[in-house]
Amino acid sequence: MAAAALERATAHLLSLQSDQGWWKGNLETNVTMDAEDLLLRQFLGIRTEEQTRATAAWIRSQQRDDGTWATFHGGPSELSTTVEAYVALKLAGDDPEAPHMASASAWIRDHGGIAASRVFTRIWLALFGWWPWERLPDLPPELMFLPKWAPLNIYSFGCWARQTIVPLTVVSAHRPVRPTPFPLDELHTDPADPFPTQRFASPTSWDGVFQRLDRVLHAYHRRAVRPVRRLALGQATRWIVERQETDGCWGGIQPPAVYSLIALHLEGYDLDHPVMRAGLAAFDRFTVHTEDGKRWLEACQSPVWDTCLATIALVDAGLPADHPALVSAADWMLGEEIHRRGDWAVQRPELEPGGWAFEFDNDTYPDIDDTAEVVLALRRVDHPDPDRLRGAVDRGVAWNLGMQSKNGAWGAFDVDNTSTLPNKLPFCDFGEVVDPPSADVTAHVVEMLADVGKARDPRTRRGVEWLLREQETDGSWFGRWGTNYLYGTGSVVPALVAAGIPTAHPAIRRAVRWLEEHQNADGGWGEDMRSYDDPENWSGRGDSTASQTAWALMALLSAGESGEVVDRGVAWLAATQLPEGTWDEPQFTGTGFPWDFSINYNLYRLVFPVTALGRYLHGVPRPDAVGHAARALPGPAPVPAADRSGGPVAGTSTAGTNTAGTGTAGTGTAGTGTAAAGGTAGTRAER
């Protein structure tokens, strides 16, 4: 049963590989991406009838029975998302009196109207006069003058927030208002008082302090010294242009891209300027067209992440390490290595570059998580140019070690990006705006370091100790970039075991017990996004999904577990597999901002089950005495007597992670698999 399921899944995964060697699943988020695309095009004067019709059809298809929109499958209605979707549909010509529009506007009014929506939504409305700029937090471009040691300088924000805030300082300085296409009186709780004044909080609270500071900034806006303001705008504009990637996007994600285009347009860049043309063309590459004529936008694209996960999964499934599909994937990943400094070098100016980003083109912001997983993937492939591969691996390892934060853990993009002040700004109500270390990223780095023979390195041990301290009292770990405690636990347990923590260690036993207690009656595991908002009731709870069931199984297998709990999880995967070899998973199991921005990675439902089934059938991979990828037998690993005290120990044991196993280049084990997808890797210039 498990073997047949793995064979079907492996064949399907191979069939999805591009002829250049990469994999990419669609990245679903919510309809604000589509609504804002129409509003951007309206603002720039380039909205077409075809784009509008196809986008509106998609937005309507995502509306719920009560007239609202949510931010994830099965989630609660969300005010700002509903406001933006409603405005986009009205822009498309939908009659406000039509049942689907009337139910949406009634719900919006019942939940506080536009005034209760997030700042980002009201910024979009301000662009068309539907909300006054005076009632929005001010972001002066003079922010660019703050040195990196000053509180609230641009580098105190996480990279995604930084890339968004800089162009918004330009927009905030200009405060543009395009002709209002129609009124939105029906979205106010009181049309006679559409812009209610917000009461100030206590001056002794952070909210009160920043509210009063914002009043000062608004006064400065009216009296800004013109040469100083012009200098600040020029610096912000140059910063934006310098960070445009070769594909025309900014950071490979939607928010910086849309606001950068608006900011540059306000600064005099016409639509025919090469920077503007490239930026708009990038959105075409982010557009997904459905078979029934609808159109929606990915907020981001994940080819590097998907490719390294697929490579690891296929090796775990039993493909030989020199299989053409794996070699092609490795070629492509090697071509994606980043060789220049980005914003990370502000905090690490002496560190040599070497790493990978998440997207096709994002050289400014390589990330620690992708780099760790790409290293693990490359070391699983028997590549015809081992020196080239070894050099890339060595640079990736060195870069990741250099990005360790002072507490011993790792964030996603930056070092020690832990200030609490940015999250307190009135502007920052759209999600997490800093990048502190997380358990899942730290776990992936720890496993990678163990895999390259650095389990006993003091820097690895500091990461291990941080992970042990971060364990929740119930035995789980919080998941920052995947949902949620299942992802965190599925990441940390394999990493700790790989780094030498014995499977009998109390931390591992508590995690195993938590996983066993949270298995669903059907044998699978699932966790709803609401665990970020209400962990007491939702931690480890939700409909069973293929990706989350795989995470649980990978943790249990790495902990040496076998028997009924594991067998029931495998049986659930086999029973729910679709005929073509994948799984149905409408649930969102990926995270951009916990609770505020949720993601459905369409390839998760395939790559993680392949990894889990492969490890169930073939054993969890681990490096043997000579560094080759051996297989641990299923079942509990023996614990040396000297390691039974339960404390952190150096050395290695069985390895594995929710995204990668251990092993080295040049080896592999035969097993299930099918013919490879053909083709060779494409370089950035060739793509």
Using an 8 Å Cβ cutoff, are 685 and 335 in contact?
no
Mode of pairing for the β-strands spanning 295-297 and 27-28: unpaired
Question: CB within 8 A of 401, min separation 6: which ones?
Answer: 449, 459
> Residue 219, Cβ neighbours under 10 Å: how many?
11
DSSP for 181-237 reads SS--GGGSS-TTSSSPPPPPPPTTSHHHHHHHHHHHHHHHHHH--HHHHHHHHHHHH
Which one of the listed residues 316, 369, 414, 435 is annotated catalytic?
Answer: 369
**Any long-range contacts for 514-520 (C-beta under 8 Å, 24+ apart)?**
514/474, 514/475, 514/476, 514/485, 514/489, 514/540, 515/489, 515/540, 515/552, 515/555, 515/556, 515/565, 516/565, 518/486, 518/552, 519/552, 519/565, 519/568, 519/569, 520/544
Report how far residue 46's alpha carbon sits from residue 32's, in angstroms, rounded to the nearest whole number: 19
> Residue 410, Cβ neighbours under 10 Å: how many?
28
Laid out side by side, the sheet with 597-601 consists of 27-28, 597-601, 590-593
How many whole angstroms from its chain centre is CA 306?
12
Q: Closest by alpha carbon to 161, among 342, 365, 324?
A: 365
For residue 320, count CB atoms less than 10 angstroms from its CB and return exposed for 0-12, middle for 13-18, buried for 19 or more: middle
Sign for the pseudo-dihedral over CA of 264, 266, 269, 271? positive
Q: How far apart are the first and last CA of the chain?
A: 40
Report how far residue 406's alpha carbon sits from residue 425's, in angstroms, rounded to the nearest whole number: 25
Q: Closest by alpha carbon to 543, among 512, 514, 518, 565?
A: 518
Q: In a 3-state reduction of DSSP, which class is residue 600?
A: strand
Report how far residue 383's alpha carbon sits from residue 381's, in angstroms, rounded to the nearest whole number: 6
For 50-79, letters b (16+ CB in 10 Å) and e give ebbebbbbbbbebbbeebbbbbbbebebbb
Q: Closest by alpha carbon to 548, among 632, 621, 479, 472?
A: 479
How many whole angstroms from its chain centre is CA 231?
35
Name the phi and psi angles at 591, rounded to 5: -130, 130
CA distances from 410 to 135, 413, 415, 468 (A): 38, 9, 7, 14
Helix (H) or strand (E) holding 495: helix 485-498
Active site residue 369: yes
Report how far residue 602's alpha carbon sits from residue 581's, in angstroms, rounded to the nearest whole number: 14
295: β partners: 289
Active site residues: 369
